[in-house]
Amino acid sequence: MTRPAKRPAKPKNRLDPPGMAQLPVVSAPGAAMPPRVPAQPTAPAYQHFDRAARGVMARLSGGVSSHAFIEAWSDWAQHMARSPGRQLELVEHAQQNALKLMAMMITPEAEAPFAPKAYDRRFNHPDWQKQPFRMWQQGFLAVQDWWDHATEPMRGLRPEDAERTRFLARQMLDLAAPSNFPMLNPEIIEATRNSGGRNLTDGLAHFTRDVTKTLTRQRDPAPKGYEIGKDLACTPGQVVFRNDLFELIQYSPQTEQVHARPILIVPAWIMKYYILDLSPHNSMVRYLVAEGFTVFMISWCNPTASQAELSLEDYRKRGVMAALDAVCAIMPDTPVHAVGYCLGGTILAITAASMARDGDARLGSVTLMAAQVDFIEAGELLMFLDESQIAFLEDLMWEQGYLDRPQMARAFAAIRSEDLIYTRNVQRYFLGRDDLPSDIGVWNADTTRMPARMHSEYLRALFLENRLTAGRFAVEGRVIALKDIDAPLFVVGTETDHIAPWRSVYKTQLFTDCDLTFVLTKGGHNGGILSEPGHKGRHYRISHRPAGALYLGPDAWLDQHDPKPGSWWPDWADWLRARGGEMVPAPAMGAPEKGYGPKITAPGSYVFQP
């Protein structure tokens, strides 16, 4: 029999379009057929030319494709054009807003008819309540209110197009907000008068320095008191395993007796791991170690162009599974408590499901923090994701081999541009104020990259096609199912999370049948997780679902569970303690006789990779 001809070798530092063939799909009975594998181009040289051109455009646009937004405007405009009733409604709404503004001019002492959104801090200065600033502020908020109403869903209009249109309208309005202009912002006028213009010269210096850093890709050193390994990520420990993908840190025990079952934490590789070992007072790692647990932490590498071909399967097999093998070798004959945060929680859920399918019972429990397994309600990030957008990102990654964090950060910042872009820019460039250093600010600036192949697979298989909960996500050629997980689950959502909305996180209950505890805590994606005991103003809700219980929707669940003051960490520690096994003498660091000897003190070397 004649052997098939070999495929031509790939050019170096080039990514073929990932298509569907990179993640094999096995359709379950009755499941929808997978999308067709895109045909291979007959003229790759022309395709490479096109990809290079689109990559240049992607760099100029920050990785945002204009196609989806143009399509959204067109869809919205066409539906608006054939909705005369909606047009009349909007005319009436504009008239009402105008009348409210006129009434405020006639009666200046009357209460302002429009209020900024809860997270909008641009108009906090008291002089915004004085004329003429009050009229400028209220006029802007009136127009914002009208556009919010105009971009509400219409019959026949695709919901995602309605959201994109609203997003675009908000971006245009935010750019033209009176708070952005020195002559219209009373806070800037006051600062300029009091400082004799020093705020503007300081702001110009800040602007020049920021532009220079952006163009040269330089980073500022950590501020005094925020040094990694000394002030941050400073819980004592040792790196006991290392491969090209991650370092495994084992933290030194702080008690003579520890729980028999260790904890393995899988952080997201979209961020440095030490968000969970930040300052001593809010370090989750330090808290767990003090509670008598043996804690292991994965510290992911910061991939370069040479690692462009790292896949999602690499992160599962050579990442999570390799770390689990090391932990089980160091502390044998006992199940492991696995903890996953954000994207690390998603890959942990995939790992747990594949282990359950294969009869691997080494997980004693699974904790998922702000982690999604279903991406239908993945929040405002979905506005940026469709076939056009993902192809655009793939072209951006094609030459450089990765997606740089600043390119992702712009998308996250745009979701809350009022606060994350414009308020900060006014403070920095017009008021001349430096950013106040903070531990989470230093961590947030410590950017990472995403390998091109992995990021493409992640966006397509999970965000775009939602394969994991649709029964079409395959590991090693066979489909996995979350309902196969029988280890107890502890799932944490945060109330104001715009990356992993809590209702999306809550849907873990819909796709699993095991014993499950769910917590909804105050705060956002990072702040809600960093909710250490003693943190002021914190509250949380908690519930327990026995294995096999009926499903309760998120809104009904919210109505039935009242908030409790304080931190959710002690409840979680009690939950782990109840499943932690007996108390045993604290283990040695690593297992040199098995090839897992201490190599370097924590936080290791990968955390310092630029």
The catalytic residue positions are 342
Residues in CB range of 179: below 8 A, 6 or more apart: 122, 123, 185, 422, 423, 426
DSSP H helix total and E strand total for the chain: 21, 17
For residue 274, report the phi and psi dihedrals to the nearest 5 degrees: -75, 10
Amino acid type, 413: A
For residue 24, CA distances in Å to 352, 468, 478, 598 come to: 19, 13, 8, 38
CB 461 within 8 A of CB 213: no
Hey, what are 477's tokens? 């050629």
Residue 66 is encoded by which pair of tokens? 């204009």
Contact 192, 199 (CB under 8 A): yes
Encode burial over 94-128: b for 16+ CB neighbours within 10 A, e otherwise: beebeebbeebeeeeeeebbbebeeebbbbebeeb
Residue 127 near residue 188, CB atoms below 8 Å: no
What CA–CA distance (Å, rounded) separates 270 from 287? 24
C-alpha 57/C-alpha 63 separation (Å) is 8
Count of C-beta atoms within a 10 Å radius of residue 227: 14
Give residues with Cβ within 8 angstroms of 111, minimum separation 6: none
Six token digits for residue 96: 């009402």
Q: How far is CA 366 from CA 323, 353, 516, 557, in A?
A: 15, 11, 10, 22
340 and 264 in contact (C-beta within 8 Å)?
A: no
What is the token pair recorded at 11?
């050019």
- Whether residue 579 contacts residue 365, with contact meaning beta carbons closer than 8 Å, is answered with yes
Amino acid identity at 208? T
CA distance 140 to 128: 12
Q: Which of 471, 601, 413, 532 is nearest to 31 (CA)?
A: 471
DSSP symbols for 351-402: HHHHHHHTT---EEEEEEES--S--TT-GGGGGG-SHHHHHHHHHHHHHHSE
At residue 14, φ and ψ (nearest 5 deg) are: -125, 140
CA distance 314 to 301: 13
- Give the H or E element holding residue 489: strand 489-494
Q: CA separation (Å) from 156 to 162, 163, 221, 376, 487?
A: 10, 14, 52, 19, 44
DSSP code, position 296: E
